[in-house]
């Protein structure tokens, strides 16, 4: 008998967030699920790892019917490293991250702990997918995501993703019947224009909150994730961890 | 009279680290230097930003002859955002990050706070360069880096880097006369194989230190940054923040 797929589930909102409960619940239908996720929210942690401090893990019981479940004091990337190299015993067949409470489309991919966990999964040689829903609310409705997540998991178990590539899947905040389908696309060129909100503490000293406005530099382009989400599609962007701007190497040889 | 270039200098080792003192000192020869850097070591922070907590800034005096100098409680990426959107008054002409104490070649680029600051600089529309020396020591000798840094700054002030591309510059731990020159290259395919060193705290509870071994998957390839460094070259890799695996989009349309 063939071994059941080993599926690692993690996120950046913390091990008890509704999004990861929903994702692990779907994953159980496809294999043995190991949940190893941060013990607290780690949004915006990007690809951070813990090297100036130590890590702790703790068995937890937030999830029903999973093979193993640990919270970890580290970042999402720490969780993947800890799982693959310490807790799982073998390389996972699939790494699933999310479902994030909030979109990780476009440039958000580089700030996102959710997507960094997926990228780390692909670095570890496993097919990896990050899922995000464009709804920050703790009471976000994840039900419309289910059939799409099943389809993507099923496809990735059948055809492994190529080495070094993972998927960034974003769901619009819509009901099932309003979603137009899946759209394979590219990361839109966009940016955040920050505004640092200055406040005074009770002792008269200034502190700042990072806030900002998202700017899509190419709202007309129809092959981007931003366009897909605005037009009721689930966006799927293949993401790689080779950051080399290959097309620029020759030019650089001439100017440096 | 033409305005002098506005140069932002930051790092991830903290505002008083020898590497940033050396870099800011060189930068002064090319324009008005603004140093806005973390108040403590932020190695391995990747592209993390501070959204669950607040930021503070503090005027400091570690650098000689710079126009403005602030330490910031946030990550390297926070420092760049804070500088560009709050402290500088206008877009910098150049963002320099480093000199990092330790190499950021190959896959290290995605964990590196130094390189994430440079990537953020390019997102803000400025020509941006991250510099790293393959020597972790606090007494590292940065003198051999000077002529190369001057050459690269000079070139980037003359010819702006293309939008969305920054440079990842790594120096081997060698004396000036041992360095073979600059080499434009690509990021080597490599990975870390982690080992979590388990220890017991005084109360008998386990904790872990993240450690690991670097594995170069293509030691024979001669066009990579790892090869360049091993062969006494300064490696220069053009880096981009579009993570889309464009070459995989069509294939994905067939399997999903």
ipTM, interface predicted TM-score of the complex: 0.91
Long-range contacts for B87-91 (Cβ within 8 Å, ≥24 apart)?
B87/B34, B87/B36, B87/B57, B88/B6, B88/B8, B88/B34, B90/B6, B91/B6, B91/B124, B91/B125, B91/B126
Residue B75 lies in a domain: yes
Give the model's pLDDT for residue B1: 47
Residue B78 lies in a domain: yes
Provide, as residue numbers in chain B, all residues whose Cβ is less than 8 Å from the Cβ of A87.
none
Residue B1 lies in a domain: no
Cis previous bond, B99, omega within 30: yes
Q: Which of B115, B236, B117, B102 is nearest to B169 (CA)?
A: B236
Give the count of beta carbons closer than 10 Å to the beta carbon of residue B33: 27
Given an 8 Å threshold on Cβ–Cβ distance, is A85 in contact with B196?
A: yes
Identify the domain containing residue A92 by its residue range: 6-186+220-255
* CATH code, domain carrying A169: 3.40.1210.10
Shortest CA gap B73–chain A (Å): 10
Q: Which residue of A has its CA nearest to B166?
A: A245
pLDDT in tens, A65-111: 999 999 999 999 999 999 999 999 899 999 999 999 999 999 999 99
Return the H-helix or E-strand segment holding A251. Answer: helix A249-255
Give chain A's domain count.
1
Residue B215 lies in a domain: no
B2: pLDDT confidence band, cut at 50, 70 and 90? low
Residue A233's DSSP bridge partners are: A181
Provide, as residue numbers in chain B, all residues whose Cβ is less than 8 Å from the Cβ of A182.
256
Residue B200 lies in a domain: no
Give the model's pLDDT for residue A2: 65
Residue B203 lies in a domain: no
Residue A205 lies in a domain: no
Residue B80 has pLDDT above 70, yes or no: yes
Residue B92 has pLDDT above 60, yes or no: yes
Shortest CA gap B102–chain A (Å): 13
How many helices (H) and strands (E) chain B has is answered by 6, 11
Torsion of the alpha carbons at A215, A114, A187 and A148, rounded to the nearest 10: -120
Torsion of the alpha carbons at B29, B33, B39 and B44, rounded to the nearest 10: -70
Residue A213 lies in a domain: no
Q: Which residue of A has its CA nearest to B154?
A: A256
pLDDT in tens, A114-165: 999 999 999 999 999 999 999 988 889 999 999 999 999 999 999 889 999 9
Give the model's pLDDT for residue B43: 85
Provide, as residue numbers in chain B, all residues whose Cβ is less than 8 Å from the Cβ of A41.
52
Distance of CA B246 to the CA centre of its chain: 25
């Amino acid at each position: 008998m063939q071994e059941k797929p080993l599926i690692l589930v993690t996120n950046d909102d913390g091990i008890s967030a509704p999004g990861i409960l929903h994702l692990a619940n779907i994953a159980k239908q496809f294999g043995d699920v190991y949940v190893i996720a941060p013990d607290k929210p780690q949004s915006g942690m990007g690809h951070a790892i813990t090297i100036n401090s130590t890590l702790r893990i703790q068995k937890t019981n937030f999830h029903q019917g999973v093979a193993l479940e640990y919270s970890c004091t580290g970042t999402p990337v720490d969780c993947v490293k800890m799982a693959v190299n310490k807790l799982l015993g073998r390389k996972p067949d699939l790494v699933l991250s999310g479902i994030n409470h909030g979109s990780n489309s476009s440039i958000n991919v580089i700030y996102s702990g959710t997507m960094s966990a997926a990228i780390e999964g692909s670095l570890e040689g496993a097919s990896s997918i990050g899922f995000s829903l464009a709804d920050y609310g703790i009471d976000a409705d994840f039900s419309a995501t289910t059939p799409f997540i099943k389809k993507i998991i099923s496809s990735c178990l059948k055809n492994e993703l190529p080495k070094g590539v993972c998927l960034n899947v974003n769901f619009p905040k819509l009901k099932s019947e309003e979603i137009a389908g899946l759209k394979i696309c590219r990361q839109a060129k966009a940016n955040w224009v920050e505004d640092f909100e200055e406040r005074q503490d009770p002792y008269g000293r200034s502190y700042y909150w990072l806030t900002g406005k998202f700017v899509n530099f190419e709202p007309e382009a129809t092959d981007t994730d931003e366009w897909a989400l605005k037009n009721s599609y689930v966006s799927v962007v293949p993401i790689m961890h080779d950051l080399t701007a290959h097309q620029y190497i020759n030019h650089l040889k001439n100017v440096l």
